[in-house]
Amino acid sequence: MRIDQVGFGQLMELEEHGADTYVALAPEYPWARLFGGQVVAQALRAAQRTVDPDYAVHSLHAYFIRGGTHREPVRFEVDRIRNGRSFATRRVVARQSTGAILNLSASFQISEPEADVQSMSAPSDVPPPDGVEDTGWGGLLVRRTAIKDFGRTVTWVRVEGSPSDDPAIDACSLAFVSDSVPTGAVRAAHPVQVPRSDIRQTFMGASLDHIVYFHRPSHGHQWLLADVRCHGLVGGRGVSVGNMFDPDGVHIMTIVQEVLLREKRHGGGSDGLGGKEA
């Protein structure tokens, strides 16, 4: 099944396969491998299934181990690391027949009535999404890059469809979109710049690791504005840090990702992580 034939709710429908083990859909994307944001969102959903609903995710850390395939479902194995009075911790390994494709740790917290301070502001000089060229890959994700400077991208992004009435599913939609914006800032810092149509012929790109800090409840089915900056590029690895805001300028989450970006040279091959369109 292609990604343009799938709703986000279908991606979140995990089937139980034993104790703390779940299996989820793996749709086909326009490139050869699965979208990392999908696997992160599904791994988060698997972790949520083992946590009391009073606990909401506040951070996740993921390592992309190898590229996944749409030719078979993804199996998610959850380890209940700790249940505390305020926090709960889970580890999730996503597997296919080739082995582990992702390792994710997630931390959950009971809501606490403490200070709420926003120190980051959304950029004010950004055209609205309706007036910006589409830079997405079609299907479930809509993405429009409004600003591209050296080492920086400002992008509108959202998931097709309507928000859920479940805050846990809404958090998964944020995890899904969070992986769609970091690579562009790293590519914008590279000394070799090519038209978008030539990117896959020029570079092999992959996400190495991915971190999301969830600051405030929201969902990815509305236009979100991601302001992402590359913090350096060396040895084929670039680090990008981004802030994502809702349409009212509320700071929803912070994203950190290390990106592999290699120029394709004679005989250059993949190390099995798999490329993606970003």
C-alpha 71/C-alpha 110 separation (Å) is: 38
* pLDDT beneath 70, residues of the chain: 266-278
C-alpha 154/C-alpha 152 separation (Å) is: 7
In a domain, 164, yes or no: yes
In a domain, 207, yes or no: yes
The confidence score (pLDDT) of residue 266 equals 55
Whether residue 23 contacts residue 15, with contact meaning beta carbons closer than 8 Å, is answered with: yes
* Residue 250 three-state SS: coil
Distance of CA 15 to the CA centre of its chain: 22
In a domain, 125, yes or no: no
In a domain, 240, yes or no: yes
In a domain, 269, yes or no: no
In a domain, 126, yes or no: no
Contacts of 134 (CB under 8 A, 6+ apart): 142, 143, 144
In a domain, 274, yes or no: no
The confidence score (pLDDT) of residue 271 equals 52
In a 13 Å sphere around the CA of 251, the CA atoms on its Cβ side amount to 16
How many C-beta neighbours within 10 Å does residue 262 have?
18
Whether residue 103 contacts residue 210, with contact meaning beta carbons closer than 8 Å, is answered with: no
In a domain, 115, yes or no: no
The confidence score (pLDDT) of residue 273 equals 52
Q: What is the CATH number of the domain that holds 140?
A: 2.40.160.210
Q: Give the structural domain span for 233.
A: 3-110+134-263
pTM for the whole structure: 0.94
The confidence score (pLDDT) of residue 200 equals 84
Q: Which residues of 199-220 are buried (b: 16+ CB within 10 A; e: fewer)?
A: bbebbbbbbbebbbebbeebbb
- Number of domains within the chain: 1
